[in-house]
Amino acid sequence: MTLRRICGLLLFNLPLLAQVTNDRILNSSQEPQNWLTYAGSYQSWRYSTLDQITQANAASLSARWVFQTGSLGQFETTPLVIDGVLYGTGQDNRAFALDARTGRAIWRYQRSLPDKVQACCGMVNRGFAALGDRLFMATLDAHVIALDSKTGNVVWDVTAADYRAGYVFTMAPLVVKDKIIVGISGGEYGVRGFIDAYSAATGQRLWRFNTVPAPGEPGHETWSGDSWKTGGAPAWVTGSYDPELNLIYWPTGNPSPSDYGAERKGDNLYSNSMLALDADTGALKWHFQFTPHDLHDYDATQTPVLVDTDWQGQPRKLLLQANRNGFLYVLDRANGQFLSAKAFGEVTWATEIAADGRPVIAPGSEPNATGIRTCPGALGATNWFSPSYDPQTTLLYVSSSVECDTFTGAPQKYHEGHDFIGSIYVPAKGEKTSGAMRALDPFTGQKRWEFPYTSPPWCGALSTAGGIVFGGDSEGNFIAFDALTGKDLWHIQLGAAIYATPMTYSVAGRQYVAIPAGAALFAFALPEK
Amino acid sequence: MRRMVWHNFTLLLGLLLCMPLGAQSGDKAAIREGESLFRANCSFCHGFDAAGGGRGPDLTQGRWLHGGSDEAIFRTISQGVAGTEMPANPFEDSETWALVAYLRSLNHAATTVVPGDAIAGERLFFSKERCASCHMVKGRGGHLGPDLSRVGAARSLAYLTDSIRKPNKELSLGYTDPNNHYGIPLEYDTVIVVTRDGSRITGVAKNEDAFTIQLLGEDDQLHLLEKRELSEVRHERRSLMPAYTADTLGPLELQNLLAYLASLRGE
């Protein structure tokens, strides 16, 4: 073997041996062939500079491989791709590593879960975080685990909370420096929400921020009586991170019980809020509550999108969020200052968002025993699936629902580990529900285009430098849209509702787009030349 | 298994005390808890107020196909019904009893006797140009409308009367159970499509998405269409079924038809 050949082999193999470092995550836009974090970058744009698939050639996309997890239910993962290997999590806390070019499995993992795990909305998981040679998953039985990325072997496993009381994890963790940041789910079970940081090296818990303040803590006065103990405010969607400010932006969900508020009087901090936490200590730097004293299940658990741009002539660090309550918010992320909120769908629960950012509640929108029609419905104008910010078009692509619900409210006794919702919502009688992919100017709230879906969607958005927005619908169509016009350039029927957000990567010079649907993960690419 | 033993013990205790242990009939708090649980867990199939939904029968009529004692209703809720779409439900026993209390609070006096001649009603149902041209019962009849083989167990007489006299009143809008995303929404809306060459097809959409529609036409044929080949897809938001007024279906005919429909219990 010649020296040249040895060097060539080393070079070829180098990427496979490389580890995920903080620098690589910070500079992830420098390696668009990889997808190193849940939302593609710390700014959570879910945008890729890959441009092989374009408006001109998207019509010739075809499936390159399909991977079967072996489990039905909602398949919500955003896979990571690191140097040619794709890492995903599946239903029932399955996980897998695949050759990203062929879809062939390298290893599979499945966690044995106890019988009594209560997950409101499916035995789902939205993905891994990666650092070094480890992958991090937060599990349905409320553990945080580290797997070895080459073998899937468990490196450490720590308990965060008691699953029997309704605490579960569904989100993908976020790596910040040497820490693994996770947020709990369980807003339907009267949990007390929290955001945790664990040592990537050992699994030791380094800090916890309780999203419902205890007696003596600021914000506790926003809960009447003992309601804080079962106050909810879960933190079930992955946040974003600003390394310059060293702040983690993490959204929170509904107060419990979601549809009945008479026994939790007050604003119910920090439910339905955006929290800015010091990454090193978990200390709260600022908060902004979108929906105080929520009665409609308007979790603010939508991905915060971080954009640096001029706002009214001044350069500012902005945070954009298309909120489940129907408004698209712009905040100053350095200090939490409210800058604007524009409705991006039909809203009847509030007449407007006042200049201080507080909603003006519409009279008669409070759920009662017989039912009140309110828009958006409980599943929101959008939900947990990611939006995408495209710096070329400067548009925010938001997968949106069109649904108004009849909300009823009723007192409910708390039973540990059981539903604690305070009655229920159903689609408003006689109204057909639907949805749309919408392209919004986040700075004016103006809608540039929309593509109508037949029913409310559960598939988010991915934008690429090829001028494409990928999305999908609950009828099972995976679609490539022209980012400027919304024209559908290509679509394929995948046979099951899509409950995930697409991502893209490249191996050996070929761009792939991956999306889960049903029990399968699909990867699409252009034909080989 | 431990839970089973405890369950049997509580039942025994209930019998010993000569009262329906958990049903707590008339207990307002239990009824309210039961209502809340019902809406959160049962309403997607049985309807918001238990009067029947797209998949589940009306539970307000005091007609219990799988046993009408408190214990039997408890068992139906907790264990489900094999061979049907009714699943087992892992509630705490106290919650199941609250559901029983709620259902009991809804029950009107059971109307087991339906006036009218069911045999004459059946004749009418299957007569030319009548119900069976669109509805099927036990394998006989048409395809456009819902299968009515169990409709007597699933729907109240008032609902059936409305469906005949005012079919647009309660149009099934095809809500999909959020926990069953492999389901196809049940929808009986009238859809009219116009093809690019100008021909019109009227029917019921068996399924539809942004790009395609699978239409069962009034001609009893499946029309499998891509929307790009159509110039119009119109949802009429009305039933394809004509309203049978007193002029087209007299009071006696209606009574006979209701007697026949009420006898259809899937048995």
Walk along chain A (529 residues) in steps of 10 and give the mean pLDDT of each run: 45 57 96 98 98 98 97 94 98 97 96 90 96 98 98 97 97 98 96 98 98 97 97 98 98 96 97 98 98 97 98 96 98 98 97 98 91 94 98 98 91 86 79 94 96 96 98 97 98 96 98 97 94
Query: Quick check: is B267 in a domain?
Result: no
**Residue B247 burial (CB count, 10 A):** 6
Q: DSSP letters along A381-401, please?
A: SS-SS--EEETTTTEEEEEEE
Within 17-76 of B, beta carbons closer than 8 Å to A belong to 32-33, 35-37, 39-41, 43-44, 48
Partner residues linked to B204 by β-bridges: B190, B216
Angle between helices B118-126 and B251-262 (to 10 degrees): 100
Given an 8 Å threshold on Cβ–Cβ distance, is A454 in contact with B208? yes
Predicted pLDDT of residue A298: 97
Element (H, E) at B230: strand B230-239
Catalytic residue among A267, A297, A299, A405: A297
Test B210 with A452 for CB contact under 8 angstroms. yes
Interface check A450 vs B, CB under 8 A: no
Domain identity same for B134 and B257? yes
Assess whether B130 and B162 both reside in one domain: yes
Q: Considering only CB atoms, which chain B residues are within 8 Å of A426?
A: 39, 43-44, 48, 175
| Cβ within 8 Å, pair B175-A427 | yes
Contacts of A432 in chain B (CB under 8 A): 173-174, 235, 237
Q: Is the dihedral of CA B166, B169, B170, B171 positive or negative?
A: positive
Q: Please tell me the distance in Å from B181's CA to the nearest CA on chain A.
A: 6
How far B66 CA sits from the closest chain A CA (Å)? 27
Of the candidates A468, A303, A276, the one whose C-alpha atom is nearest the C-alpha of residue A386 is A303
CB B70 within 8 Å of CB B20 = yes
Give the CA distances from residue A138 to residues A13, A212, A325, A516, B238, in Å, rounded to whole numbers and listed in that order. Answer: 31, 21, 27, 19, 48
* Distance between CA atoms of residues B196 and A310, nearest Å: 49
Six token digits for residue A380: 């929101």
Q: Which residues partner with A510 through β-bridges?
A: A507
Contact A492, A478 (CB under 8 A): yes
What does the alpha-carbon distance between residue A460 and residue A202 come to, in Å, rounded to a whole number?
A: 34
Determine the residue among B46, B49, B181, B190 to mutate to test chain A binding: the one whose Cβ has the most chain A Cβ atoms within 10 Å: B181
B82 plus B49 within the same structural domain: yes
> Do residues A170 and A191 lie in contact, with contact meaning Cβ atoms separated by under 8 Å?
no
Distance CA B122, CA B258 (A): 10
Write down the pLDDT at residue B172.
65
B72/B194 same-domain check? no
DSSP B87-151: ------HHHHHHHHHHHHHHPPPP-----S-HHHHHHHHHSTTSGGGT-EETTEE-SSS---TTH
B127 burial class (0-12, 13-18, 19+ CB within 10 angstroms)? Answer: exposed
| A396 backbone dihedrals φ, ψ, rounded to 5° | -105, 125
Interface A-B, measured as beta-carbon pairs within 8 A, has a size of 80
One domain for residues B101 and B80: yes
| Cα separation, A48 vs A29, whole angstroms | 8
CATH number for the domain harbouring residue B235? 2.30.30.100
CB A296 within 8 A of CB A374: yes
Closest chain B CA to residue A498: B181
Closest CA to A366 of A232, A255, A259: A259
Number of domains in chain B: 3
Q: Is the pLDDT of residue B67 over 90?
A: no
A472 φ, ψ to 5°? -165, 170
Q: Which of B41, B48, B209 sits opposite A477 (nearest CB)?
A: B209
- Taking the CA of residue A62 and the nearest CA in chain B, the distance in Å comes to 18
CA quadruple B175, A404, A424, A272: dihedral sign: positive
Peptide bond connecting A79 to the previous residue in cis, omega within 30 degrees of 0: no
Phi/psi at A14 (5° precision): -55, -50
> SS3 of A90, please?
coil
Strand partners for A248: A241, A277
Same domain, residue pair B60 and B137: no
Q: Are residues B62 and B40 part of one domain?
A: yes
Query: Which 8-state DSSP code applies to residue A528?
Result: P
**Residue B112 maps to a domain:** no
What residues of B are in contact with residue A422 (Cβ under 8 Å)? 36
pLDDT of residue B178: 53
For residue B11, pLDDT over 70 is answered with no
Q: Which of A407, A432, A477 to mutate to test the interface with B (most CBs of B within 10 A)?
A: A432
* Maximum CA extent, chain B: 76
Query: Buried b / exposed e across A226-252, counting CB within 10 Å, b at 16+?
Result: ebbebbbbbbbbbbbbbeebebbbbbb
Q: What is the mean pLDDT of residues B200-223?
A: 94
Alpha-carbon gap: A212 to the closest alpha carbon of chain B (Å):
25
Neighbouring residues of A324: CB distance < 8 A, sequence distance ≥ 6 = A298, A299, A300, A301, A302, A376, A379, A380, A381, A382, A383
A488 is catalytic: no
Residue B7 has pLDDT above 70, yes or no: no
Output the pLDDT for position B174: 56
Residues of A (477-496) whose Cβ lies below 8 Å from B = 477, 479, 488, 491, 493, 496
Quick one: pLDDT at residue A465? 98
Burial of A444 (0-12, 13-18, 19+ CB in 10 A): exposed
> CA A192 to CA A229: how far, in whole Å?
6
**H or E element, residue B159:** helix B157-165
> Among the three residues B106, B133, B153, which one is the final residue of a domain in this structure?
B106
Alpha helices in A2-57 (DSSP H): 3-17, 22-26
- According to CATH, the topology of domain A35-525 is Methanol Dehydrogenase; Chain A (2.140.10)
Residues B84 and B122 in one domain: no
**Cβ separation B41–A496 shorter than 8 A:** no
Would the CA dihedral through A422, A358, A192, A39 be positive or negative? positive
Q: String of b and e for A465-490 (b: at least 16 CB within 10 Å)?
A: bbbbbbbbbbbbbbbbbbbbebebbb
Q: In chain A, which among 67-126 make CB contacts under 8 A with chain B? A: 72, 74, 121-122
- The pLDDT-based confidence of B84 (bands split at 50, 70, 90) is confident
CB interface of B with A, residues 163-192, below 8 Å: 171, 173-176, 178-179, 181-182, 185
| Both structure tokens of B42 | 């049962």
CB atoms within 10 A of CB A83: 17
CB contact (8 A) between residue A412 and residue B48: no
Query: Could you report the predicted ipTM of this complex, rounded to two decimals?
Result: 0.85
Asked if B7 and B94 sit in the same domain, the reply is yes
Q: How far is CA B83 from the centre of its chain?
A: 17
Measured between alpha carbons, how far is A426 from A372 in angstroms, rounded to an integer? 10
d(CA A126, CA B7): 38
CA A321/CA A137 separation, integer angstroms: 25
User: Which DSSP state fits A165?
Assistant: G
H or E segment to which residue B231 belongs: strand B230-239
Distances (CA, A) of A365 to A289, A294, A379, B172: 19, 11, 16, 26
Closest CA to A389 of A440, A429, A342, A341: A440
Helix (H, G, I), strand (E, B) or coil at A146: strand
**pLDDT higher at B20 or A387:** A387
Contact between B39 and A499 using a beta-carbon 8 Å cutoff? no
Same domain, yes or no: B23 and B97? yes
What integer pLDDT is reported at residue B32 of this predicted model? 84
Give the CATH number for residue B122.
1.10.760
Domain contains B113: no
In the structure encoding, which two tokens stand for residue B113, read together? 């006797």
Count CB atoms within 10 A of the CB of residue B1: 5
Contact (CB<8Å) B171/A430? yes
Residue B258 sits in the same domain as residue B139:
yes
Are B87 and B35 within one domain? yes
Helix B251-262 vs helix B157-165: crossing angle, to nearest 10: 130
B34 near B25, Cβ under 8 Å?
no
What pLDDT, on a 0 to 100 scale, did the predictor assign at position B177? 56
Final residue of a domain: which of B65, B86, B106?
A: B106
Domain extent, residue B48, equals 2-106
Distances (CA, A) of B167 to A392, B171, B180, B261: 52, 7, 27, 16
In degrees and rounded to multiples of 5, residue A222 shows phi and psi of: -90, 10
DSSP line for A421-469:
-SS-EEEPTT---EEEEEEE-TTT--EEEEEEESS------EEETTTEE
Give the single-character DSSP code of A179. Answer: E
For tokens 């309203």, the residue is: B243
